[in-house]
Amino acid sequence: MSAYTEQKLTRDEMAQLVAADIPAGAFVNLGIGQPTNVSNFLTAEQGVTLHTENGMLGMGPVAVGDQVDEDLINAGKIPVTELPGASFFHHADSFAMMRGGHLDVCVLGAFQVSAAGDLANWHTGAEGAIPAVGGAMDLAIGAKQTWVMMSLFTKGGESKLVETLSYPVTGLGCVSRIYTEVAVFELRDAKVYVRSTHGISFADLAAKVPVELTEVK
Amino acid sequence: MSAYTEQKLTRDEMAQLVAADIPAGAFVNLGIGQPTNVSNFLTAEQGVTLHTENGMLGMGPVAVGDQVDEDLINAGKIPVTELPGASFFHHADSFAMMRGGHLDVCVLGAFQVSAAGDLANWHTGAEGAIPAVGGAMDLAIGAKQTWVMMSLFTKGGESKLVETLSYPVTGLGCVSRIYTEVAVFELRDAKVYVRSTHGISFADLAAKVPVELTEVK
Amino acid sequence: MAPRIAASAAQAVANITDGSTVLIGGFGNAGQPMELIDALLEGGASDLTVVNNNAGQADAGLALLIKERRVAKIICSFPRQSDSWHFDEAYRAGEIELELVPQGNLAERIRAAGAGIGGFFTPTGYGTLLAEGKETRIIDGRGYVLESPIHADFALIKALRADAHGNLVYRKTARNFGPIMATAAKQAIVQVDDIVPVGSIDPENVITPGIYVNTLVALGGAQ
Amino acid sequence: MAPRIAASAAQAVANITDGSTVLIGGFGNAGQPMELIDALLEGGASDLTVVNNNAGQADAGLALLIKERRVAKIICSFPRQSDSWHFDEAYRAGEIELELVPQGNLAERIRAAGAGIGGFFTPTGYGTLLAEGKETRIIDGRGYVLESPIHADFALIKALRADAHGNLVYRKTARNFGPIMATAAKQAIVQVDDIVPVGSIDPENVITPGIYVNTLVALGGAQ
């Protein structure tokens, strides 16, 4: 039976779970927003190296006080720091690093993920919305593994894990794991496995999510 | 009437002519063999920067004595020196520089050049010959201008300036100027202009070369 | 040709004419050639096609070029930001054309232009709205989109330092688009803190070789 | 993952198995990872596909691998040299397959593999024997050939120095194929003069970021 906790996960608990799952020594890109929070739970022993697509490996924590340097920012344009062993490179080299499959894990937010691992996170498709994509499509398909962090349900209670995306696609078949406040999903072998549930039973979860779920026994 | 000298040009005189034609401040790649000799006649005032496709701008003269360093060689694998203001880069960047049209002039040897500027210089096409191309095809089509230095006639007395190549092509329509011991040709506007003759009259030259020649008046 | 040393940002951008395609470096404020953009604004060139990662922020630089309707078209990856109000207004009024490109494809297309590549197959964007109308191909079981180079008339770039041959070094993540944009433009115009004598930059550490640099202007580090 | 530090060249190449595709850096002697090649020779792996600019010279390194018929196929730009007798003999005997690639296309194909590009249109080789059988296309009036990436199992590279994270710097024209080969192989094996503590290489001057390096072996500068 899958792992279970009585309570839904908080955002910090989700980030903690993701951080614990990142293999030691991995090269990782954390997307803007919730995924950035994962860095707060990585341990020094893990030896994880963070990539920021604007041209750096070995990114350190957010800069504070005198550390702030407008030439040293992350992809969210927030001033950050550099760690010993860092390196700088230009944009073509940085995205080549990503697209070439050299990063181990990329963690992203999402509007929707399909059972096949299709990701939607760049555009609501709403009438009149100004589209903006940034590195979303590169991040989605570039890393060896793409993990998503999202709330499982919309404010209206609809599942964001779906059979077929209704939002515009960011990348096809790219997501292998989804961390939500009520469950962690693993997408492999054309199935959606539920690794753990939080504050909900597997049966209740299966009733609320419109894709076939398989419990990890 | 074209310029004229009584005597055929020596190899050094040909190199001297080419050197004098290179615009001040140009970025130039000199092919292996005869073209390399051009560097001996470039003046400091010309401020020409030499590129070597194995990854350097600002190449200096051939290394002598203590200057010899096996990590500092030209495309002919000869030890060279570096000048102040040099830069090193990897092979993909070096050939991108060439293919992207950033070099002003490339000077190459040739087996044959056609009236349309097609170049043959990489392969005799002889039965059983082991082919080798190196950077020949990249050099041929990369620079803003490709100039050829060659003897005009084979040992058998046949013109190497031809209507149609009989040797395998290196690059199509790429040559704009040909320096030979008896004449300098300019290829433009679908014509072959004779800029100068050396030890031969225009009429005699025209009789020996099987392409239509136009005298620069 | 050793680069022209311009006496001012205004002089550096003086030959940018109406209808030019201009690559503008920078990601956020890092590497943004603010003084060159201001000079371009002052200079009056219009009907520009601008290539930048974004579409201007707040009331400065590129945002003002857009506000003044000097940009006919923008090629970028991320136009919509909390402070991109001038772009938003121009776009909604139908007064600016937008070509939206995934960030890595934008970088690779700029690099391709500088490298003489006629087009390339990229997996990024395959199966998405941004691949609509583009040629696609399955290669070894994976979907790819054919993307074309982005050539430009000018590049406006900020680097840390140049030598008099135009060799450039950058600073930290301000490097971003500078090195590739320098290769893709007919004329690269570069603002630096200072210009040092030839020989002052280690040849091993040159990021943009001087061959790519046409105009330099030194603006001092305190700007 | 921080790179594995091998105790010897032999240990560094120990996991190269029969049938592997191996990128070997170097142009002439500059940047040629001679000790790693010797170890590969000693190690006994056969049926290799080797990618190098040349096809071995005289009686050393790659030439000996070819002499021993351990190379089933070579992808290179310039096999024929005055001292490439072992290649010449194997080739004339029909005992080695040759894929001849213009040097710039060779470099760009290696880069493409590392950069996740599925193919690219290059003007180099258009209209020549080396484009026969390949897809061509006229783009903006110019002829191009479609070339594909060269992926590999291993890369053998010589750099000047590494830090313990695998960040590399090279020396002069010995840089040549190293940086792109490191990106195109599943495992990059790098010989360096010395390995220095993390933090000893300025992040601005790193040529190959450590992410591309899997195995390091320090052989000292006096080799």
Please answer yes or no on whether B84 and C117 come within 8 Å at the CB atom: no
Q: What percent of chain D has pLDDT over 90?
A: 96
What is the CATH code of the structural domain delimited by D4-118+150-218? 3.40.1080.10
pLDDT over 90 at C163, yes or no? yes
On whether any CB of chain A is under 8 Å from the CB of C125, the answer is yes
Do chains B and C touch by CB distance (3+ pairs < 8 Å)?
Answer: yes
What value does the mean pLDDT take over residues A172-184? 98
Q: Residue D67 in 3-state DSSP?
A: helix
Please answer yes or no on whether C180 and A141 come within 8 Å at the CB atom: no
On whether any CB of chain C is under 8 Å from the CB of D147, the answer is no
Where in the sequence numbering do the catalytic residues of B fall?
53
pLDDT over 80 at A122, yes or no? yes
The pLDDT of residue B2 is 62
The pLDDT of residue D144 is 98
- Distance (Å) from the alpha carbon of D218 to chain C's nearest alpha carbon: 21
* Residues of A engaging D, defined by a Cβ cutoff of 8 Å: 24-27, 47, 49, 51, 56-58, 82, 84-89, 96-103, 142
pLDDT over 90 at D222, yes or no? no
pTM higher than 0.90, yes or no? yes
pLDDT digits (tens, 9 = 90+) for B156-191: 999 999 999 999 999 999 999 999 999 999 999 999
Q: What percent of chain A has pLDDT over 90?
A: 93
The pLDDT of residue A6 is 87
Where in the sequence numbering do the catalytic residues of A fall?
53
pLDDT digits (tens, 9 = 90+) for D154-186: 999 999 999 999 999 999 999 999 999 999 999
Nearest to B100 among C116, C209, C210 (CB): C116
Sites in chain B below the pLDDT cut of 50 = 1
Q: What is the 3-state secondary structure (H, E, C) of chain C?
A: CCCEECCCHHHHCCCCCCCCEEEECCECCECCCHHHHHHHHHHCCCCEEEECCECCCCCCCHHHHHHCCCEEEEEECECCCCCCHHHHHHHHCCCCEEEECCHHHHHHHHHHHHHCCCEEEECCCCCCHHHCCCCEEEECCEEEEEECCCCEEEEEEECCEEECCCCEECCHHHCCCHHHHHHHEEEEEEEECEEECCCCCCCCCCCECHHHCCEEEECCCCC
Query: What CATH number is associated with residue B116?
Result: 3.40.1080.10
As a whole number, the mean pLDDT across chain A is 96
What value does the mean pLDDT take over residues D87-106? 97
Distance CA D134, CA C81 (A): 45
* D175 contact residues in B (CB cutoff 8 A): 55, 88-90
pLDDT digits (tens, 9 = 90+) for C44-85: 999 999 999 999 999 999 999 999 999 999 999 999 989 999
Distance CA C175, CA D55 (A): 38
Q: Which residue has the higher pLDDT, C222 or A12?
A: A12
User: B112: which residues sit within 8 A by CB, 6+ positions away?
Assistant: B119, B120, B160, B161, B162, B165, B166, B167
The pLDDT of residue C38 is 97
Reported confidence tier of residue D223, pLDDT bands at 50, 70, 90: very low
**How many structural domains does chain A have?**
1
Distance CA D57, CA D48 (A): 18
Complex confidence, ipTM? 0.97
As a whole number, the mean pLDDT across chain C is 96
On whether any CB of chain C is under 8 Å from the CB of D205, the answer is yes
Domain residues for A78?
A: 3-215
Q: Are C27 and C173 in contact (CB under 8 A)?
A: yes
The pLDDT of residue B55 is 98
What chain C residue is nearest to B46 in terms of C-alpha separation? C1
What value does the mean pLDDT take over residues C162-178? 98
3-state percent helix, strand, coil for chain D, nearest multiple of 5: 25, 30, 45
Distance CA D26, CA D24 (A): 7
Do chains B and A touch by CB distance (3+ pairs < 8 Å)?
Answer: no
